[in-house]
A and B are shown apart, each in its own frame.
Chain A
Amino acid sequence: AQKITQTQPGMFVQEKEAVTLDCTYDTSDPSYGLFWYKQPSSGEMIFLIYQGSYDQQNATEGRYSLNFQKARKSANLVISASQLGDSAMYFCAMREGDGGFQKLVFGTGTRLLVSP
């Protein structure tokens, strides 16, 4: 089974609107971390936001927020007030366990295009 599933290959949004990028995950480990990264055409993976499995509150970082629904095993990224510079690939990733040396497993990504 896929550990991380991103079902939206591409998303379109108009500038200044909000957009939600979907991510579902599969794990039986009670301790895990969920990460979102942005990859512009330049290729670098830019860390956006982190959510721990034991965190009570949904994570927020500026215009980015994570809609964490533990029972549904989903960790959707919400980008508010989209900007042209948000056009990029977005990857959801998970790291299981807290004992150290655990792999970060990535989804296949969603390409976001922001139009003027």
Chain B
Amino acid sequence: EAGVAQSPRYKIIEKRQSVAFWCNPISGHATLYWYQQILGQGPKLLIQFQNNGVVDDSQLPKDRFSAERLKGVDSTLKIQPAKLEDSAVYLCASSFGSKGTDTQYFGPGTRLTVL
């Protein structure tokens, strides 16, 4: 079974530029998550989708970050304009459901460097 796919793996941009990340979850997984992991810290949830609806975006900086999951499968996360403090690894994860017992499976991440 294929795992969670993400692209690109690495991205370097200058501040104030825009960037987009793509995620394809495990087939059949209804719940999709985007996390931000700053160096030396654990991942922090940015947004959670159930099918194509947002169920939690309380920690998403909505003035610059946006995300969508059209048709309830693939998802894109966009940053516009990027700031220096957005340098981090962006991890996508998926799970079959959203109960406390549902395991989240992660993709390889996108390492973003903002100069």
Report the contact-size class of chain A (Cβ under 8 Å from the partner). Answer: 20 to 34
A32 contacts B100, CB within 8 Å? yes
Question: How many A-B residue contacts, CB cutoff 8 Å?
Answer: 67
The size of the chain B interface, using a CB distance under 8 A, is: 27
CA distance A35 to B55 in the complex (A): 22
Decide if B87 is an interface residue (CB 8 Å cutoff).
Answer: no
A residues within 8 A CB of B109?
Answer: 43-45
- The minimal Cβ–Cβ distance linking A66 to chain B, given in whole angstroms, is 14
CA distance A97 to B98 in the complex (A): 10
Cβ 8 A contact of B108, one of A31, A42, A52, A100: A42
CA distance A88 to B107 in the complex (A): 16
Chain A 68-106 interface 0/1 with B at a Cβ cutoff of 8 Å (1 = within):
000000000000000000000001010111111111101
Q: Which residues of A are interface residues toward B (Cβ below 8 A)? A: 4, 31-33, 35, 37, 42-47, 50, 52, 91, 93, 95-104, 106-109
